[in-house]
Amino acid sequence: MEQNNDTSGGDFILLGFSDQPQLEIILFMVVLTSYLLTLVGNTAIILVCYLDSKLHTPMYFFLTNLSFLDLCFTTSIVPQLLWNLKGPAKTITSSGCAIQLYASLSLGSTECVLLTVMAFDRYVAVCRPLTYTTIMHPSLCKALAGIAWLSGVGNTLIQGTITLRLPRCGHRRLHHFLCEVPAMIKLACVDIHANEVQLFVATLVLLLLPMAFISISYGFIAHAVIRIKSSHAWRKALGTCGSHLLVVSLFFGTSSVIYIQPNRSYGHSQGMFLTLFYTVVTPTLNPLIYTLRNKDVKGALKRLLRREQKF
């Protein structure tokens, strides 16, 4: 018999896709493949950016941060998801749930800010090319990356702690495949209106504001390119910004649906598949996007491979 004290021991049950058991083996293979590709792709980008001196620029400094972030983000979610998909056990310990909540929320929040910082970097590169190296000097790049990481940690300490302190009265069945704020607050046995307001404010600050800043940055970029009236300028701008814009669209497009309308999304298959996309699939696509659409990265990979073949 469950105790009413929510602070008592006991595992959480991640119901996830258990109502569609025929899909679980397929999802297991898809998630496992995506995770392995994420590990290989993002590790490759980190190594290439570190080993090739031509990529020691602000753009690739931020890309290295993004790749490391994606590695940590998926690792905070996928191993537990694979464990639950492979068999009948759908449990996660109370401490494991708390760790997953803190880690995934912190890393997801950091990615929102980091993608915004990368948009600012692209704005300076296109609209202020003559002063780019002066503006985006290493100390500023490190400070901007630090702000992104600290903002994620700060948001997590507030949201995560408030969420975990909610009384649950023994409710431990999560209608999701991971411990995440919108799903966790539904377990509370008290009025959660204040928590929903707090979640909305956090969404406004860490999702909608970054999307607005990114849109403004690309508005200035488009305006600058239009004024030049050159097809070469268009191609150069697309090469400079296309990969980042595609990554931004994939990440914010799915995560915003989940967090802007959590009551509609969570507890339903559609919401879980959207979460699966931005937590598992998007980190897999990011290195592919930056490799396939980026001549610098492809050139660096070729140089490193040729160097290895000589030895």
Stated as kind and residue range, the H or E segment containing 14 is strand 12-14
pLDDT band at residue 296 under the 50/70/90 scheme: confident
- Whether the pLDDT of residue 75 is over 90: the answer is yes
Q: CA 37 → CA 29, 104, 110, 185, 279, distances in Å?
A: 12, 19, 22, 33, 14
- Whether the pLDDT of residue 212 is over 80: the answer is yes
pLDDT (0 to 100) of residue 292:
64
In one-letter notation, the amino acid at residue 25 is I
pLDDT band at residue 209 under the 50/70/90 scheme: very high
Regarding predicted confidence, which is higher, 96 or 237? 96
For residue 47, give its domain range. Answer: 12-310
Strand partners for 13: 91, 173
Indicate whether 285 belongs to any domain.
yes
Which region, left, alpha or beta, applies to residue 170 given φ > 0 means left and ψ of -120 to 50 means alpha?
left
pLDDT (0 to 100) of residue 1:
37
pLDDT (0 to 100) of residue 309:
58
Query: What pLDDT digit, counting tens, does each position of 115-125 carry?
Result: 999 999 999 98
Indicate whether 303 belongs to any domain.
yes
The domain total for the chain is 1
The residues, any chain, with a CB within 8 Å of residue 35's CB and separated by 6 or more, are 74, 78, 82, 280, 284
pLDDT (0 to 100) of residue 120:
95
Q: Output the average pLDDT for the chain.
A: 85
Measured distance CA(127)–CA(148) in Å, rounded: 23
Measured distance CA(151)–CA(106) in Å, rounded: 8
Measured distance CA(222)–CA(234) in Å, rounded: 9
74 in Cβ contact with 283 (< 8 Å): yes
Indicate whether 4 belongs to any domain.
no
Indicate whether 134 belongs to any domain.
yes
Measured distance CA(20)–CA(204) in Å, rounded: 33
Measured distance CA(74)–CA(181) in Å, rounded: 17
pLDDT band at residue 265 under the 50/70/90 scheme: very low
Query: What pLDDT digit, counting tens, does each position of 18-68 carry?
Result: 777 788 889 999 999 999 999 999 998 898 888 888 888 999 999 999 999
Measured distance CA(45)–CA(269) in Å, rounded: 33
What are the structure tokens assigned to 73, written together?
């983000």
Indicate whether 244 belongs to any domain.
yes
Indicate whether 146 belongs to any domain.
yes
266 in Cβ contact with 183 (< 8 Å): yes
Query: What pLDDT digit, counting tens, does each position of 136-192 carry?
Result: 999 999 999 999 999 999 999 999 999 999 898 878 888 888 998 888 888 888 888
- Whether the pLDDT of residue 198 is over 90: the answer is no
Indicate whether 2 belongs to any domain.
no
Strand partners for 92: 12
What is the CA 166 to chain-centroid distance, rounded?
26
pLDDT (0 to 100) of residue 304:
72
Indicate whether 63 belongs to any domain.
yes
The CATH number assigned to the domain holding 63 equals 1.20.1070.10
The residues, any chain, with a CB within 8 Å of residue 162's CB and separated by 6 or more, are 195, 198
Least confident of 111-125, 198-212, 282-296: 282-296
pLDDT band at residue 262 under the 50/70/90 scheme: low
